[in-house]
Amino acid sequence: MHDADSADPLLPPELERVIFELAVWQNPETIFALVLVAKRVCTWIEPELYHVVVFGKPRSLLMLESKPSQFLGQHVHHLAIPANVLHVDVVRILSTCTGVHDLAIWNNISTRPDLLPLLRKLTNLQCLSANLFALFGGRDDFTLDQFRIPSPRGATGLWPVFKLLPRVTHLSVTDTYSPEVINAALGTCPVLQLLVAVWGRDPAMSPPPDESKISTDPRFCIVLCSLFEFDWELGARGGRDVWRRAEEAVANNPRERQKGSDVRE
């Protein structure tokens, strides 16, 4: 690293810092060059490297190894864990990035319910996008029976897993359109503002279900999106993502909502 800190800065430090932070915000890829400018610049902008993390990408696991848990817990705000990340790494990531408030976890295999205690420790978690059945220990051939618990009178009801997410305001599911599951989430998530069922198939070949037959709750809608990871990262960096399109749809016409265009458009 070139140490320019010993030279007299040409600008006040506050203004200099704003300039570097603005450069990184406009073009995140510049951060890899800018951290080499000077120690003070590295101190200012290096945390930006960790605000949005997609594990499974090059450098991601190396980043986990290179920084102490306290640093990652403080600076990782948006975290995506694609399906190709091993379960042991999922556990390690969630145990380390404890300050995350936007989490996407798209495992498509059984991950066992040992992730639930880790999710409960994410006290800042507000936005959760997930393959729901895999996240809660299901399988590809999941049935609702795995979610059911007996009541004191002998009847059964859905296990109130959503009560374990007391601060989640935005929930996105990519693998269920079950009215029972959707309405259980809407009825038991304490502060839920929006529940989005993402339809990832080509609507021309396989049209999405009628959302009014799933739930009439104005907080629920179905949004088209085939590129989950791209869309999520776009939103994490301030772009128009599934959340934005769903919020617009609900706000514009809660009874006859437009589904929102696919991100590919």
How far is Cα 234 from Cα 103, in angstroms, rounded to an integer?
A: 14
Report yes or no on 259 lying in a domain: no
In the structure, what pLDDT confidence band is assigned to residue 130 with cuts at 50, 70 and 90? confident
**Contact assessment for residue 128 and residue 162, using Cβ atoms and an 8 Å cutoff:** no
Q: What's the domain range around 13?
A: 1-46
Task: Take residue 108 and report the two structure tokens written for it.
Answer: 């498509």
Task: Note whether 58 and 26 are same-domain residues.
Answer: no
Name the domain count of the chain. 2
Q: Name the maximum alpha-carbon separation found in the chain.
A: 77
Task: Note whether 131 and 3 are same-domain residues.
Answer: no
- How many angstroms separate the Cα of 120 from the Cα of each of 2, 19, 124, 125, 145? 43, 38, 10, 9, 23
What is the mean predicted confidence (pLDDT) over 198-205? Answer: 88
Report yes or no on 36 lying in a domain: yes
Report yes or no on 262 lying in a domain: no
Q: Which residue type occupies 103?
A: L
Task: Note whether 173 and 76 are same-domain residues.
Answer: yes
Task: Note whether 69 and 24 are same-domain residues.
Answer: no
Task: Note whether 90 and 15 are same-domain residues.
Answer: no
Task: Note whether 122 and 93 are same-domain residues.
Answer: yes
Task: Note whether 166 and 55 are same-domain residues.
Answer: yes
Task: Note whether 114 and 188 are same-domain residues.
Answer: yes
Question: The tokens 């995350």 sit on which residue?
Answer: 100
In the structure, what pLDDT confidence band is assigned to residue 175 with cuts at 50, 70 and 90? confident
pLDDT tens, position by position, 229-252: 899 999 998 889 999 999 998 887
Report yes or no on 18 lying in a domain: yes
Task: Note whether 18 and 61 are same-domain residues.
Answer: no
Task: Take residue 165 and report the two structure tokens written for it.
Answer: 């997410």
Task: Note whether 121 and 135 are same-domain residues.
Answer: yes
